[in-house]
Structure 1
Amino acid sequence: MKKILSFLLLLNAAQIAYSQQLSEKVQIQNVLNTFMNCVIKKDSVAFYPLFHKDPIVWVGVVKEKSHLQDLKKNPKAGDLFLSDYRSFIRSMYDASKYEEKFYNVKINEDGFIASVTFDYSFWIDGKKQNWGSESWGLIKTKGLWKITSVIFSVEEENISPEPKKEN
């Protein structure tokens, strides 16, 4: 009887741990969804609280084909750029329609820190502008997941179209 009771307690603990982990992943997925919706709605009020206190690492690396094209226009063009989340959302305040799509999302977390990697494409007025891979670092503080870093690669769609992904 003790073995059965111990087994049931262990099973219950494992189930609780699994559901808590699932809940964390759902919370992190909600951060991604809010991010995408803020881009569409140009909503800085909802966007800013997604991030932890500054400084937030925000680095884009230009992929080779796009970088080679940039060098033809400007021989001193760098292959990376630094920015921040405030500049990113402010750059969308014009009349254009913006959208960033995330797919192939992978979330790795331990309840306190998380890394999220995914492929993305960035659209303006219904036309894909660029695409690449993105990685976020997050921490959970005061019960909320906050983005601490955003790093991504960029390939211009008109220079190197995004390969079709198999499902």
Structure 2
Amino acid sequence: MNKLFLISFLFFCQLGWSQNSEKEDLQNLIEDFFEAFHAQDSKALRNFAHPEIKMQSVAIDAEGNTTLSTEEYTTFLKSIASIPETTKFEEQLHGFEININDMIANVSIPYSFFINNELSHCGVNTFQLMKSKGEWKIIYLVDTRSKLGCE
């Protein structure tokens, strides 16, 4: 009975450690994504994403209506690469909530977005990722954008 308990205990400890390691890997991947984003490195950004990635944004318009927009990832990459060097932009991340379920994961991150050191908007990024051949790839990215409630 003691051997069974010990084996079970060690197995569950390994699972817990493995889950924490996966969470660290996912956080590092997202941090690397934003490092490439700030560097306007469209090649690196492309490598983080699955070829069939989907992108959407949920925003509140001037009349207070909630809107949904969809953007092709290639359009996003072109727009990032075309930002003039004179424009400074920074997306500050405010923590990570990471959930893993076998071969898929969800990473949710509140953020504040600054243009030329002035707060532009804030919201939450939600990344959906898929693990294939031992590698995590972003398959869906949705964010919220609002000027309300930003600090």
Q: Distance in 2 between matches of 1:53 and 1:47?
A: 11
* Displacement of 1:120: 1.5
User: Does residue 31 of structure 1 match 2:29?
Assistant: yes
Secondary structure at 2:38's aligned position in 1? Answer: helix
Runs of 5+ unmatched residues, structure 2 = none
TM-score relative to the length of structure 2: 0.87
Give the aligned length. 148
Q: Deviations over 1:51-87 (max 9, x none)?
A: 1122x22111112xx4317x9xxxxxx8222113332
Q: How big is the alpha-carbon RMSD for the aligned residues of Structure 1 and Structure 2?
A: 2.0
Mapping of residues 44-123 of structure 1, within 5 Å: 44-54=42-52, 56-63=53-60, 66-68=61-63, 79-92=67-80, 93=82, 94-95=84-85, 96-123=87-114
| Bigger Rg, structure 1 or 2 | 1
Which one has a larger percent strand, Structure 1 or Structure 2?
2
TM-score relative to the length of structure 1: 0.79
Moved over 6 A (4+): none
Matched residue type, 1:42:
Q
Name 1:6's counterpart in structure 2: 4
Runs of 5+ unmatched residues, structure 1 = 72-77
* Displacement of 1:113: 0.5
